[in-house]
Amino acid sequence: MSQKKISYKNTNNGLTMSAYLDLPNDFDESKQYPAIVITHPGGGVKEQTAGIYGRKFAEHGFVTIVTDASYQGESGGEPRQLENPYVRTEDVSSAVDYLTTLPYVDNERIGAWGICAGGGYTVNAAINDKRIKAVGTVSAVNIGHMFSKGWLGDQDMKDATKWLEYGASARTQEANGKDVVQMPMAPMKKEDTPYTDLKEAWEYYHTDRAQCSTAPGYGTARSLTQLVTYDAFNMAEIYLTQPLFVVAGSVAESKWMSDDLMERAGTDNKQLHIVEGANHMKLYDIPKYLDEAVAQLAPFFKEHLGFAELVNE
């Protein structure tokens, strides 16, 4: 497996995107390969969990592209750390656009995979973009419902009105010359949350475990005016027709969102794999759990992206 850092123009917003392109062992540019678009969590970057999965899938013979989101990481755009879910969804399709320009990628064998909010964005992209032939998620989060229903899914959605008001206030302040208003994308301190999953999110993003200079841990509060009402699985009952493979931890507090995806997905070909003992965050980078997820997902993508034979150019 070889990796190279690339940049390309986002066909949706014109921004310059930064990505890792991972190529399989014994890569032969005269052949065509199946490819997978890899999407990172909200607040994450390509150097973290998404990059690990990208390399793992490349080791199984896929071309993978792991892209920093628009306005985040080393990709372009202002304001920095914008987390507009509609932009994030379009980032997936823009990465597909880029893959179709590569002569060694088979345009009929492109899949998409995402983790945490990246899983939700991946699903939403697949609902809209039928160039995506197979969909995989790990620790999937429907980020809109995370805000409107809470991390455990037990919050009255009307209570999230306060977040809409906060986001609107942030926009007004910024429009009148104030600094960009920030909000945490993961707990900035361990004691900031009562939830086990999110205490580990603090550890992941803010200690030597996985902290990265391009992932500061905050987003823009103005994003709340899009996030709260966003449903990553909108119309999945009708339009999510591609094969789907969902991985979740048995003790993940976020598992209800993977369960919701399984229930709502319209495809007849959908599978849920539970990793025993894993919570939300352990599937990010703990080898015991991550390797089990890859061991399930790689055969799924091989089956549904026609991996059996490489096609001569």
List the CATH number of the domain containing 285: 3.40.50.1820
* Domain with 120 in it: 2-151+231-312
Query: Which tokens belong to 5?
Result: 């850092």
Quote the CA–CA distance of 47 and 55 in Å, as a whole number: 11
What DSSP state is assigned to residue 34? E
What is the distance between the alpha carbons of residues 67 and 15, in angstroms, rounded to a whole number?
12
* pLDDT at residue number 1: 73
Q: How many residues does the chain have?
A: 313
- Give domain status of residue 122, yes or no: yes
What DSSP state is assigned to residue 151?
T
What's the pLDDT score for residue 308?
60
Q: What pairs with residue 8 in β-bridges?
A: 17
Cα–Cα distance between 116 and 166 in angstroms, integer? 24
Would residue 26 count as lying in a domain?
A: yes
- What is d(CA 294, CA 287) in angstroms, rounded to the nearest whole number? 10
Q: What is the pLDDT of residue 105?
A: 98
CA distance 312 to 304: 19
The structural domain count of the chain equals 1
- Identify the H or E element spanning 115: strand 105-115
Digitized pLDDT (tens) for each residue of the chain, 313 residues in all: 799 999 999 999 999 999 999 999 999 999 999 999 999 999 999 999 999 999 999 999 999 999 999 999 999 999 999 999 999 999 999 999 999 999 999 999 999 999 999 999 999 999 999 999 999 999 999 999 999 999 999 999 999 999 999 999 999 999 999 999 999 999 999 999 999 999 999 999 999 999 999 999 999 999 999 999 999 999 999 999 999 999 999 999 999 999 999 999 999 999 999 999 999 999 999 999 999 999 999 999 999 998 765 444 3
The verdict on residue 214 lying in a domain is: no
Q: Tell me if 294 is assigned to some domain.
A: yes
CA separation for the pair 216, 229 (Å, rounded): 25
Quote the pLDDT of residue 311: 44
Residue 99's alpha-carbon distances to 73, 92, 131, 264, 274, in angstroms, are 20, 11, 11, 29, 31
For residue 200, the SS3 value is helix
In a domain, 187, yes or no: no
**Model pLDDT, residue 207:** 96
Q: Is residue 123 part of a domain?
A: yes
How deeply is 59 buried, as exposed, middle or buried, from its count of CB atoms within 10 A (0-12, 13-18, 19+)?
middle
Q: What angle do CA 143, 145, 146 make, to 5 degrees?
A: 60
Q: With respect to residue 54, please indicate whether it lies within any of the assigned structural domains.
A: yes
Global pTM reads: 0.97
- At residue 306, the pLDDT reads 87
- With respect to residue 240, please indicate whether it lies within any of the assigned structural domains: yes
